[in-house]
Amino acid sequence: MKGIILSEFVEFLESSLGPDQAQIVIDKSGVGSGGAYSRVGHYDYQELIQLLTHAAAESEIEASELVNKFSQHLFMVFRRDYSVFFEGVDSAAHMLSQIDNHIHVEVKKLYPDAELPKFEYTNTGESLVLDYSSPRPLAAVAKALVMACIQYFGDKEKLVSSEISEDQCSAKFVIAVSSN
């Protein structure tokens, strides 16, 4: 998993729980890297699950709630640091439909060894059907990111259904596209 996800999760923990609580979560989780994440590094995705589990336990906040909050944080980081991908994009459907064909293509150029999830889409005109698949069981994070994206673009679109596979490695999201 790319370091930016993990380093931003630690940032998110520090800002939401405070530096001490964040450190306690890291220490208790016993992650192999010791939580010393660099954006450009590459780490085991399990560490994200470990940190998330311990953060939920430590803070007594629902894991799903934490994932949603983290996704909103991560989306704003993307907006701040990779604004080039937002140029000329005016809706969540537009943004989501260019993940595979544009954003991930550029990521691959910079990090040829990155293992990226797939976001295939079908646009029916009324709705955007997004097929997510990943070697990692992180469909819940994907769903949260989709919702953060919709929220960022002003809640004009709506996630009308999401089917997540049992192994959490794939999902189908249906987004109703606003008519205006």
Partner 1 sequence: MTLDLETQLKLADSRTKRLKAARDEAERLLEQKSRELYAANSELESIQRGLEDDIKLATHELSVSNQRLQKALDERSTFIGQMSHEVRTPLNAIVGLSEILLTTDLQETQLDYVDTMSSAARALIVLLNDMLDITKIEAGKLEIHLEPVETKRIHQNIISMFKIEAESKGLSLEMNLDSDMPNYIRLDKGRYKQIVNNLVSNALKNTHEGVIKLYVSYRRNAVSEGIGMLSVQVIDTGVGIPEDQLKKIFNAYEQLGSPDKGVGLGLAICSQLCSLMQGSISCESIVGEGSVFEFSLPAEEVNDAIIEPASNGSEVQSESAKISILVAEDNPTNQKVLSAQLAQLGLTAEIVDNGLLAIEKLQSQSYDLVLLDILMPVMDGEETLKTIRQSDDRIAGHYCVALTASSYQDQRNRLLGLGFDGFLSKPLGLTELADALEKVPASRVKIESSSITGEMQTIDIALFDPSYFKAQFGDAWEMVFAEIAPTFLEHSRKHLKQLKAAISDNKVDHINKISHSIKGGAASMGQTSLAEKLAELEANSDSPLAHDWIESIEAEWSEVESQLQIELDRIHQG
Inter-residue contact 170 to 157 (CB < 8 Å)? no
Binding mask 68-107 for partner 1 (x = CB under 8 A): ----------------------------------------
User: Interface residues for partner 1 in 2-41 (CB under 8 A)?
Assistant: 7, 19-20, 22-24, 26-27, 34-41
Contact status: 57 vs partner 1 (CB under 8 A): no
Residue 46 sits at φ, ψ, to 5 deg, of -55, -30
For the chain, how big is the Rg over CA atoms in Å? 16
Q: How far is the CB of 61 from partner 1 (least distance, A)?
A: 14
How many helices (H) and strands (E) would you count in the chain? 7, 4
Q: How far is the CB of 80 from partner 1 (least distance, A)?
A: 19
Q: How far is the CB of 2 from partner 1 (least distance, A)?
A: 12
| The pair of three-digit structure tokens given for residue 157, joined into one six-digit string | 């679109």
Burial environment of residue 130 by CB neighbours within 10 A (0 to 12, 13 to 18, 19 or more)? buried
Q: How far is the CB of 120 from partner 1 (least distance, A)?
A: 30
Inter-residue contact 50 to 31 (CB < 8 Å)? yes
Residue 156 sits at φ, ψ, to 5 deg, of -75, -25
Contact status: 135 vs partner 1 (CB under 8 A): no
Q: Closest Cα partner for 139 from 100, 173, 170?
A: 170
19 or 154: CB nearest partner 1: 19
59 or 168: CB nearest partner 1: 59
DSSP designation for 155: T
Q: How far is the CB of 115 from partner 1 (least distance, A)?
A: 17
Burial environment of residue 129 by CB neighbours within 10 A (0 to 12, 13 to 18, 19 or more)? middle
Contact status: 67 vs partner 1 (CB under 8 A): no
Q: How far is the CB of 7 from partner 1 (least distance, A)?
A: 7
| Residues of the shown chain interacting with partner 1 in the complex, contacts defined by CB under 8 A | 7, 19-20, 22-24, 26-27, 34-41
